[in-house]
Amino acid sequence: MKLIKGSKTSQLCYEKLVVGLTPQESFNLSKDMVSGYVNGYETSFGQPSWLKSDIVENQWEIKLSSAKITLNFDVNFKSSTGEIENLTAPKHIKLLNVFKCWLLIQSSPLHTGFQSISNETLSKKIRNTLYLIDYILLNSKQLKLEKHFKLWCKDTVITLLSRLFDKDSISKGVYDTEEKIDIHIEKNIRKYNPNELEKSFIKLSKKFNLDSKSIINDDHELSKILGFLHLEKAFESKKDNSRYGNLSLSYLRETLYKNTLYGGRVQLPKLDRYSVGEGIDHNRTSEYVQHPLSKRYEIGISEKYFRTIRQNLYMLSDINPFGHLVQLETAQVCSSIFEEISINSLMGKPAKQVGRTVTIGAGEVLPQIKNGFEFIYEHAELILQNVENILSVSEEQIQKTSLKEFTHFGYKKYLSEEAISLGIEVVGYYSTEKDLYNKRRENKDLFFLFNVLQGALQLIVGATMARRMGELVELDPYEAITPKDIDPKELPTQDFNLIFDNRKSGVAYGGEIVREQLSRPILNSIAALIYKWQCFNLRLKEHGVLDHLKELGLFTSLSFKSLAIKEGNSESFVDNLDAFCDYFETRTYVDEQGVSRRLYIRQHQLRRFFAMVFYWAYGYEASETLRYFMAHTDIEHLEQYVVEETSGEILRGVQAERMIDGIRNKDISGLGELEVILKNKFGLKSLEYRTYEEISEDIEDEIIALESTHDHVVPQRYKNYTVLLSSLEGLLEKGVLDLKAEYVTVTSRDGKDKAVMDLVLKYEQT
């Protein structure tokens, strides 16, 4: 692009860019133009700060925050004729350089809109790029990769994307472990004769307690496959490993993904068909499989995620000029083949909407809040004190004896009599322990009780404060509430606030995100619980137990295997909630596939529950208060928390109840039309609305007579109310009625713009 001066008229105060300027000239000019307005960003295209190696090397060291990744480009791929090609061979250097530039371009200012991006965002971009590169390497034969990109056309891109998104997630689409292991077995099982396979299977059966005769009779082919896998040392045999009895990660990675850039770091499925461990059918951090309350459980890829991956793939169209910029000769890529492609044109099934967690009702949440409070009040002091007793002496005692001796016997003398009376017998159980969760519910596992205790506080804070999970994970371990250093129990009239970093605001600076710190009112009783946790963390700090931790939060993670306390993170936060749900045995059921599932409560569900209760109880006039409390910068974001993606029973019921309230309060626009619809629906000439209180008074005055079976009246269950409610739900379900929020920006007297929303009844006459 060439730079020419624009018109001298006052309307044109900027310079026009036209064809002719080189990428480096364009970058330098753009940098000069915006340097006074934006934070610094990467200025070296070929040597960004995250790359710790020279770009010409065939092994890269990447560092983003504390994460380090080694990428080895010395990998093989299959040609279209089945021959083995090496990516670093001289004839494929241009192809190799395409992959290198594809990674480098992710942080290029020319491709980030000259915005400084956080390490978290950059990590996702690089990871998605590695997924796509691995997909190309794993499908090199079909893509004729030895010819580089010469044969690529628009159909190639469409085929690539459609196959990639035929699975539930991109990682499944790329690595497709189940299909690849089946192909590997089919190709290699013939190396062994039937006798060898049978002997191997019998040995495997003895090792893992299998009913070999039953398996041979029921599925002889499976017994041969299991024998083959045993000969290949494919099974994880360590009992303390979560994959015990399943195909080991090392085997899968070495066998299937040795010639990929990122396959060695991806979490791979356990493949139940080839599992030989007793009772192993799901993640061992919880008793049951998660109840699918998330919309992401639905099969398919969201439009939003599809656009992210598509955009990443389309960056190939800029690889050649970028390669010139960083002085790497790249294989030619035709940019015209990357035209706009929609997800619906690729897939047989429609794209799902962006996954949002479905709200759980009061009947699920309120009893657990009660359980949480009671558990903390009854057991917190005992559990925290005994955990402290053991952690404070563990390092010294382990040095004197051994870790194994202390975790098996030595800890017992540090348990209080009250702890033993409660039932505590061990510091922790291995996941392979028989009757594990019944023993845990009998209070035998100290560290599990600690997880339950943390889960109880997480649930209480989550349900009453409506914070995002990341905000709770990052709560300060010693100063999460203000005023500081005051026990709320001693000042019951004092107002307290929860201090947190707003996860939906902040700026990227130096690869890190500097977030806005906020405070919100918190109930005194809950502040007192948090204060108790702060005191516990301070005592551990005084014992030197926390000295090795850099980013400690209020909630921590305990490992009985190492007797060490670790920083809490999103994974340990979820584990604590799972422990709570398993201890109190939240609802379970058997799904259509015969899988037993449990409702494991998640923080986002609690946040939505809070919003739903607040929103519908107080109406839209309280939306500004709710927006403030939930720390949303945009008032319209609230609607995402109160409207499910599809009209379900919960939403229709809530909408119908809100309509009836709105009839009396006259705070919903368009209610006049509702009267017309109801008259037509029931063939009425007139319609009168009455409140619960008025109906109750009429009953007391015997103006309304109840059936003799009624001993008392619950206003919400008054039969005409129920009929109206049911009818409104039916109209909502058929699409005749809908309750929507409408947003308007108004200017106040002081000249400030403010977003206002109104609750509007929408109707369609049929």
Q: How many Cα atoms occupy the beta-carbon half-sphere of 741 within 13 Å?
A: 20
Mean pLDDT of the chain: 76
Tokens coding 632: 């949303």
Residues 667 and 688: their CA atoms lie apart, in Å, by 17
For 615-631, the DSSP string reads HHHH-GGGHHHHHHHHT
Output phi, psi for 71, to 5 deg.
-110, 120
pLDDT surpasses 50 at 135: yes
Question: What is the C-alpha separation between 493 and 489, in angstroms, rounded?
Answer: 9
Q: Where are the domains of the chain?
A: 1-37, 38-168+302-345, 177-297, 362-476+524-598, 647-763
Dihedrals φ, ψ of 564, to 5°?
A: -125, 150
Query: Picking from 220-234, 561-575, 725-739, which range would have the lowest pLDDT averaged per residue?
Result: 725-739
- Specify the DSSP element, H or E, that contains 120: helix 119-138
Instruction: Among 19-33, 247-261, 589-603, name the one with the lowest average pLDDT.
Output: 19-33
pLDDT-derived band of residue 272, with 50, 70 and 90 as boundaries? confident
Place 47 in a pLDDT band, splitting at 50, 70 and 90. confident
Q: Does residue 1 carry a pLDDT above 60?
A: no
Question: Is the model's pLDDT at 710 over the cut of 50?
Answer: no
Question: What pLDDT, on a 0 to 100 scale, did the predictor assign at position 548?
Answer: 81
> Going by C-beta distance under 8 Å and a sequence separation of 6 or more, which residues neighbour residue 171?
131, 266
Report, in this order, helix, strand and coil percent for the chain, each rounded to 5: 50, 10, 40
Distance of alpha carbon 315 from alpha carbon 319, whole angstroms: 7
Q: Tens digits of per-residue pLDDT, 154-208?
A: 888 877 777 777 676 778 889 989 999 999 999 999 999 999 999 999 998 888 8
Report helix, strand or coil for 397: helix
| Measured distance between the N- and C-terminal CA atoms of the chain, rounded to whole angstroms | 59
Amino acid at 481: I
Report whether pLDDT(638) > 50: yes
Q: What is the pLDDT of residues 461-478, one digit of tens each?
A: 998 887 888 889 999 999
Residue that has been written with the tokens 């997630």 in this structure: 169
Q: Residue 670 has which token pair? A: 């368009």
User: Model confidence over 62-117: pLDDT tens digits?
Assistant: 988 767 889 999 999 999 999 999 999 999 999 999 999 999 999 888 777 767 77
**Local confidence band at 651 (pLDDT 50, 70, 90 cut-offs):** very low
* pLDDT recorded at residue 338: 75
Q: Of 334 and 592, which is predicted with more confidence?
A: 334
Higher confidence at residue 355 or residue 403? 403
Q: With a cut of 60, say whether residue 755 has pLDDT above it.
A: no
Going from the C-alpha of 684 to that of each of 34, 485, 680, 723, 730, the distances in angstroms are 68, 65, 7, 14, 18
d(CA 541, CA 746): 52
Q: What is the DSSP letter of 427?
A: S
